Amino acid sequence: MLCINNTFTDAYFNIAAEEYLLKNFSDDIFMVWQNEPSIILGKHQDVWAEVNIDFVRDKHIKVVRRYSGGGAVYHDLGNINVTFIERSNNLDFDKYTNLTLDILSRMGVNAQADKRRGLNIDGLKISGSAQSIHKNRVMYHATLLYSSNLEYLTTSLESHNEQPENNSNIQSKIYVRSVKSPVTNISQHLANPLAIEDLKALILNDFIDNNSENKQYKFTEEDIKAISLLKDAKYATEVWNFNEASHR
């Protein structure tokens, strides 16, 4: 397995990086990464029904539609994201949930998984996940709320908007709606909270140290160029992020 410490924090780039790794690598991959403030939508969601557009524009929060399905989530530098990409011969999404629970347990966090593979502490959500499959490859990714701005999280995901009347792409289709849950930060449940960069390193090293076949991988110049091209052509565009009807 290739273990990637992704130091980029541009949400457009990072969501493009996931698709690039899913479609262009044959190795199993584990990636740890963070985004600057952003809303990450599921592929089949209506942005107007999920996002407080006025608030995110006022606060310069990016809205990015990801390759996988599921609901909308808020990211900032107090949130850690983990991505697993593997061959889908023995498909078992619960495996990834259990791996994440094991990491939290070793930190002293007693979390539980729900039926949607979300993780909770005392009924408060700390992690959501989503999955997608491309040919013989599967991608599972999850958030870990560590020290996020929960006020921004809640406000940015409270939609007060209606889709513009002049939107010519309104169709009679069913969009996936997010399932809202009360949330908490992991750091609030630790006696001695780590700095988030130390936690990120701990998670990555946990994978490298526990399997001799796992090795660290750094994006090459070719990788960065290809991801940037995909970002500019797709993930940084209004068409992709705000106009679900045109998705391909």
Predicted local distance difference test score (pLDDT) of residue 232: 98
At 160 the pLDDT is 75
Which CATH architecture group holds 2-246? 2-Layer Sandwich (3.30)
Q: Per-residue pLDDT tens for 193-213? A: 889 999 898 888 887 887 788
For residues 193 and 147, give the distance between their C-alpha atoms in angstroms, rounded to a whole number. 10
The confidence score (pLDDT) of residue 62 equals 97
pLDDT, tens digit (0-9, with 9 covering 90-100), for 164-180: 544 544 444 566 666 67
pLDDT digits (tens, 9 = 90+) for 67-104: 998 889 999 999 999 999 998 776 677 887 888 888 88
Residues whose CB is less than 8 angstroms from the CB of residue 180 and which lie 6 or more positions away in sequence, other chains included: 157
Strand arrangement, sheet containing 73-75: 62-65, 38-41, 73-75
Average pLDDT, the chain: 88
Residue 248 has pLDDT above 50, yes or no: no
* DSSP one-letter string for 90-159: T--HHHHHHHHHHHHHHTT---EE-TTS-EEETTEEEE-EEEEEETTEEEEEEEEESS--HHHHHHHT--
Which pTM value belongs to this model?
A: 0.89
Q: Which residues 6+ apart lie within 8 Å of 178 measured at CB?
A: 42, 45, 50, 71, 72, 157
Provide the residue ranges of all domains of the chain, joining segments of one domain with +.
Answer: 2-246
